[in-house]
Structures are given as C-alpha cells and as structure tokens.
Structure 1
Amino acid sequence: MLVAIILLAPLSGLLFYVFALKSALPPRRWAMLGCLFGPAVLPLFMARRRWSLVCARGMKYALLRA
C-alpha cells in the first residue's frame, strides 16, 4: 500500500501540473501540492479552478444555459 502511494504522488503531481496549465492556475504550486499530498488535493484544485472561472467571467454569467 505504501509503495502505491509513493508511486502515485509524482504521477498526480504531473497531472496537476498539466491541468493547472490548462486552467491558467500557477502550475508549479499545484504540482508541488500534488507531489506532497497526492490525489487528496483534487477537491481543492477543483474549487480553485471554479473560483478563478467565476472571477474571470463574473457572477451573472451562467455556466449552464437552459
């Protein structure tokens, strides 16, 4: 189990780096957090990505249009 966690941490750091580049977030910070904490950082990443999108577009912009 410990070996799986040790191998998963650098992989998740790399994935967080790529996703942060796509989302216009600071990639080195998210890569470091991904390497340290692994996939546990995913909820924080998704919340930060959503918040940056809301700040960029404004509160009155609908993300899902009916």
Structure 2
Amino acid sequence: MYVAVILLALLSGLLFYIAALQSALPPRRWAMLGCLFGPAVLPMFMARRRWLLVCARGGRYALLRA
C-alpha cells in the first residue's frame, strides 16, 4: 500500500514537472506540489495556467470567438 502511494506521488510529480515546463510555469514548484499532494493539485494547476494565459493576452481579448 505504501509503495503504491509513493509511486503515485513520484509519478504525479514527474507529470506536473513536464506540464509546467510546457506551460511556462515554474517546474520545480509544481513538481514538489505534485509529489506532496498528488493529483489533488490538478485543479490549482489548471487555474494558474488559465490565469497566466488571460494575463498574457489581456482582459479585452476574447478567448472564444463567436
């Protein structure tokens, strides 16, 4: 049981590291959060990535065009 939890923590840390590199977020911070909290960090990661995208494009730019 403990081995599965440790492997899940390491795997999610690695996946968050790769996703942070692709999203231009600080990878070591997200890897550490992924190792500590596992997949529970995913909503926070997605919200941060979305917020940085909105800030980079500006508030008046429409993300969805009709």
TM-score normalized by the length of structure 2: 0.90
What percentage of aligned pairs have identical amino acids?
85
Structure 1 gaps of 5+ residues are none
Could you say which residue in structure 1 is the equivalent of 2:48? 48
Name the CA distance, whole Å, in 2 between partners of 1:38 and 1:27. Answer: 15
Could you say which residue in structure 1 is the equivalent of 2:57? 57
* Aligned-partner SS, 2:62: coil
Structure 1 moving runs of 4+ over 3 Å: none
Could you say which residue in structure 1 is the equivalent of 2:10? 10
How many residues are treated as equivalent by the alignment? 66
* Aligned-partner SS, 1:45: helix
C-alpha deviation, 1:24, in angstroms? 0.5
Name the CA distance, whole Å, in 2 between partners of 1:28 and 1:38. Answer: 14
TM-score normalized by the length of structure 1: 0.90
